[in-house]
Amino acid sequence: MNKRRDFIKKASLASLSTLVGAEIVFGSVAPADYTPLFLDQNDPFKLFGKDKDMTVLNDRPWNIEAKAHLLDDAITPESRMFIRNNGIIPEKPDASSWTLTIDGESVTTPKTYSLAELKSKFRQYTYQLTLECGGNGRSEFNPPAKGNQWTIGAVSCATWTGVRLKDVLDDVGIKSDAVYVGYYGTDKHLSGEAGKVVISRGVPMAKALQDETLIAFQMNGKDIPMAHGYPLRLIAGGWPASASGKWINRLSIRNIVHDGPKMTGDAYRVPCEMVPPGTEVPDDKMCIIESMPVKSLVTYPRSGATVELGKSLDIRGHAWAGELAVSKVEYSIDFGATWISANLKRPKNRLAWQQWNAQVQLPKKGYYEIWAKATDSNGRAQPMVVPGWNPKGYLNNACHRIAVKAV
């Protein structure tokens, strides 16, 4: 964000006028170091309450990620949670008038619930759930993949409270031919075209009927923040976060694989089989991303830390594996030549990330890299390099690494 501010302060009157969408009258006599109010009103740290060390990748739409050290908390706070948008965040609604409609080919009679009805009619559940953008790590792909150049910080593990989707579907009554649940929200298309759907993804029925798949109205014990889907969000932990639709006011129960915007082409889809970098992949050879791959982060210390030789260095982080559990986490200080097991905690519940930690002894003064590698419950381990290329740079689960010095 600091780079963005520096750019804006150096910008010409013409470029600032383009940003605000109108001529800046008397702009020529404004103080040289003055920051126009409209820029402050579009400051993401003020708008969304984000940590000032977060990284803004895009402001139309807003896409913001954390740095690894910001994700050290067991439960990700709002201030350090990534924001991924495809369109413009809607105006904050009146929750008392909010409704959720369940319809589609596989519903006998469509039904509409108020937010109050959802809260009172169904039992409420709270789970800690991992959400990760499918493009997290995209910046490491070569040839470069189009899209926001996420590094490692488009992941979070907050607590979500709501009602189980399966309980609501049971109340509505779903036909036996139901295949997919597609969501619709109230975000606005970047084109400004009224009624144009920004993104409408979802999950197959097997995922929809899991205990942990929620229609959520609270995050970390409070109303969901506006940037994260207030007042109602679908939460499908362990899958790409795009499956967890924000600001939802409609769920469509389909008798086909849902075909809404961002469900076809190369959107959140990868080649069904590995292809050489740069390959054009036919549509019928692309598969929808479902469970995310095993992955880990080193969240402490911050990359670039120094340690006095002879003192142990505490390291820690998180690991997760989509629908699976993590069976072990290992670390290396010799560029992957040897690996040492770390201590690994059990998840709070299924689909939550797992904390790990270790104490490291560095043998001599100098530069080191600490690498982390997680293995899932099916025995699949993270690769040490970027995995198979795909057109949109999805599913990079290469080992995370930080730099440290012994002095």
- Domain of 301, CATH number, reads 2.60.40.650
What is the pTM (predicted TM-score) of this model?
A: 0.89
Out of 224, 259, 288, a domain closes at 288
Are 267 and 184 members of one domain? yes
Is 72 within a domain? no
Using CA atoms, how far residue 196 sits from 187, 191, 230, 260, in Å, is: 10, 9, 20, 11
Specify if 55 maps to a domain: no
- Please list, in sequence order, all residues whose beta carbon lies within 8 angstroms of the beta carbon of residue 217, skipping any fewer than 6 positions away: 115, 118, 119, 161, 162, 223, 224, 231, 232, 233
Instruction: Kindly tell me the sign of the dihedral angle through the C-alpha atoms of 241, 246, 251, 257.
Output: negative
Helix (H, G, I), strand (E, B) or coil at 387: coil
Q: Are residues 326 and 307 in the same domain?
A: yes
Which residues, 6 or more positions from 307, have their beta carbon under 8 angstroms from its beta carbon? 313, 362, 404, 405, 406, 407
Residue indicated by tokens 């982390």: 372
CATH number (domain holding residue 283): 3.90.420.10
Which stretches in the chain have pLDDT values below 70?
1-21, 32-42
SS3 content of the chain, % helix, strand, coil (to 5): 15, 35, 50
Claim to verify: residue 366 and residue 224 sit in the same structural domain = no
**341 and 400 both lie in a single domain:** yes
Q: Are residues 274 and 316 in the same domain?
A: no
Q: Residue 157 pairs with which residues in a beta bridge?
A: 130
For residue 122, what are its two tokens?
A: 């169904």
8 A C-beta contact, residue 138 and residue 193: no
Domain that includes residue 264, residue range: 95-288
The SS3 of residue 354 is strand
- pLDDT (0 to 100) of residue 24: 76
383 occurs within a structural domain: yes
Single out the residue in 230, 261, 288 at which a domain terminates: 288
- The last residue of one of the domains, among 288, 305, 330, is 288
The rounded distance, in Å, linking the Cα atoms of 50 and 66 is: 9
| Residue 299 and residue 394 in one domain | yes
Q: Where are the beta strands (DSSP E) in 165-212?
A: 180-185, 202-204
For 321, counting Cβ atoms within 10 Å of its Cβ (0-12 exposed, 13-18 middle, 19+ buried), the class is: buried
311 and 283 both lie in a single domain: no
Residues 158, 264 within the same domain: yes
DSSP characters over 254-293: ESS---STTSSTTTTEEESS---TT----GGGEEE--SPP
In a domain, 210, yes or no: yes
Question: Does some domain include residue 164?
Answer: yes
Dist. CA 283–CA 335, nearest whole Å: 38
Specify the 3-state DSSP secondary structure of 95.
helix
DSSP class of 188: B
Based on the domain organization, do 276 and 170 belong to the same domain? yes
HSE-CB at 407 with a 13 A cutoff on CA atoms is 6
* 305 in the same domain as 271: no
pLDDT (tens digit per residue) in 71-120: 999 999 999 999 999 999 999 999 999 999 999 999 999 999 999 999 99
| Separation CA 353–CA 350 (nearest Å) | 9
In a domain, 101, yes or no: yes
One domain for residues 253 and 105: yes
Same domain for 284 and 299, yes or no, is: no
Q: Is 96 helix (H, G, I), strand (E, B) or coil?
A: helix
Q: Got the DSSP string for 102-152?
A: EESTTBSS-EEEEHHHHHHHS-EEEEEEEEE-TTTTGGG-SSPPSS----S
* Number of compact structural domains in the chain: 3
The predicted pLDDT at position 159 comes to 98
198 lies in some domain: yes
- Asked if residue 214 is part of any domain, the answer here is yes
